[in-house]
Structure 1
Amino acid sequence: MTIHGDHPFLPPESDRSPVRRLRGRLPSPVGLWTTASGGKRAGLTVSSMLVADGEPGSVIGLIDPDSDLWETLRQARTAVVALLGEPHRRLADAFGYVAPAPGGPFRMIDWTDTAWGPAPVGVSTWAGCTLASTDPPQVGWALQVQLDIAHVELSPDEIPPLVHRRGRYVSITG
C-alpha cells in the first residue's frame, strides 16, 4: 500500500472544468445543512451558498439532487444551516463524505433537536429555516435550494469562520 500526498480522486489539472476552477478560487463559507424526518437525520457540508437579507431572509445553496440531505429535506421541509469554524474541520469532511465517520457523522459531536432539525452543539452561528419550494431549479450539477430563515442563533463567543478555497479549508481571524 502506498499513501500519496495528493487527493487520490483529483483529476489532472488539464482535465478539470475551468468553471469549477474559477469557483474554487472564490472563498466560500463552510456551512453544515442538517434536517430530520421520520426519525431519519441527514446532513451535508455546503460551501456553495449565500445569505440574502429580506422579509424573510433566505439561504440559497447548491445541493446534490441525489444526496440524502435533499431526500430528507423534501420530506421535512425544515433545516438547520450552521456556519462551521476552525474546530469543525473533521465534521465538515465527514458530512462532505471525504473522511471516515465510524457510525456516521452525527456521532462525532452532540446535537440539539430544534423545530427545524438537529443543530450542532458548539457552533456559534446557525439558522432555523423552512424550504421555500420542493421543486427547485436545476443549476449545472445541482439543485438551487432556497430556504427561508425563520430563526437565527448568534453566540457572543464567535468561533473564527471556516472558509473553503481551492479545495482547502482556511480560517479567517479578526
Structure 2
Amino acid sequence: MTIHTSHPFATPDDPLRRLRGRLGGAVTLWTAGAGRDRAGLTVTSVMLAHGEPARLLALLDPDADLTDALVETGRGVVHTLSAQHRDLADAFAGVAPAPGGPFRLAAFEDAAGYGPRLADAAAWAEVRVESTAEVGWSLLATVVVEAAHVAEAHADDPPLLHHRGRYRRLEER
C-alpha cells in the first residue's frame, strides 16, 4: 500500500477525472477472501441492476489485492458505508495509514464463505462473480447478488457519499 502525500484525485489538467469526481456516488467497501488472504477495497463506481437475480456492476482497480481475491474465490461481500466509516474508507482506499492493516480498524465477521463482513454496516450483500471485462483502466466486475441484508439497527444511518474528491453526507431538506 502506498500513502500519497497529495490528494490522489487532484488532477486539474485531466478533465475526465474532474468529470468523474462530479458524478459522485455512494461509498462501498468490497471484501473477499479469508484469514491472511482477505482483501478489501473502497469502491464508488457501483451500480445495482435489479432483476432475477439482481446484479451489482463495479469498476475495480485491476491491480488491487481485492480484485485478485474476488476473482480467485468467486465470492465477496459488498457493504454500504455510513458517515462514521470515513477513516475506514480511506484506509481501504490506501490514502490513510492503517497500522497492522485496515481490517484492524473495525470489527469484521465471516460471511459464510463470502468473505469478511463489516459488523456495523448498515447494509451488505453477499455476491458471486458472474463476469469480468477490461473497461478503460478498470476491471468491470458483474456480480450476482445472492443475499442482501439491511441491519435494522443502522437502517437510518446516512450513507457516506463521495463527490469532487470529498466525503459528503446525505442530508434531508
TM-score (structure 1 length as normaliser): 0.89
Which residue, 82, 96, 100 being the options, matches 2:97?
100
Match of 2:144 in 1: 148
Aligned counterparts of 2:83 and 2:138: Cα–Cα separation in 1: 27
Flag as ranges the 4+ runs of structure 1 deviating above 6 A: none
Deviation, 1:38, is 7.0
Q: Partner of 1:63 in structure 2?
A: 60
SS state of the match for residue 25, structure 1?
helix
Instruction: Give secondary structure in 2 for the equivalent of 1:91.
Output: helix
Larger gyration radius, structure 1 or structure 2: 1
Q: Deviation per CA, 1:91-140: give whole Å up to 9, x if none.
A: 0000000000000000001111012111101111000000002xx22111
**Deviation string, structure 1 residues 118-170 (Cα, Å, up to 9, x no partner):** 1101111000000002xx22111100001100001112232110000000000
Gaps of 5+ in 1: 1-5
Counterpart residue number, 2:165: 167
In structure 1, distance between residues paired with 2:115 and 2:21: 29
The one-letter code of the counterpart of 1:166 is: R
Change (3 A) 1:111 1:103: same
How many pairs were matched up?
A: 165
Q: Distance in 2 between matches of 1:39 and 1:120?
A: 16
Q: Distance in 2 between matches of 1:19 and 1:148?
A: 29
| Counterpart in the other structure of 2:123 | 125
Larger helix fraction of residues? 2
Aligned partners of 1:29 and 1:142: how far apart in 2?
Answer: 18
Structure 1 distance, partners of 2:65, 2:19, is: 27
Percentage of pairs with the same residue: 43
**Pair 1:138 & 2:137 matched:** no
Which residue of structure 2 aligns with residue 112 of structure 1? 109
Deviation at 1:173, TM superposition (A): 2.9
5+ residue gaps, structure 2, are none
Listed one character per residue, the Cα deviations across residues 11-34 of structure 1 (whole Å, up to 9, x for unaligned) are 551x22x12211111120100000
Distance (whole Å) between structure 2 residues aligned to residue 166 and residue 8 of structure 1? 11
Say if 1:37 and 1:75, in contact at 8 Å, map to a contact too: no
- Give the TM-score, by structure 2 length: 0.90
**1:93 alignment partner AA:** D
Going from structure 1 to structure 2, the CA distance change for 1:12 and 1:50 (only over 3 Å counts) comes to: closer
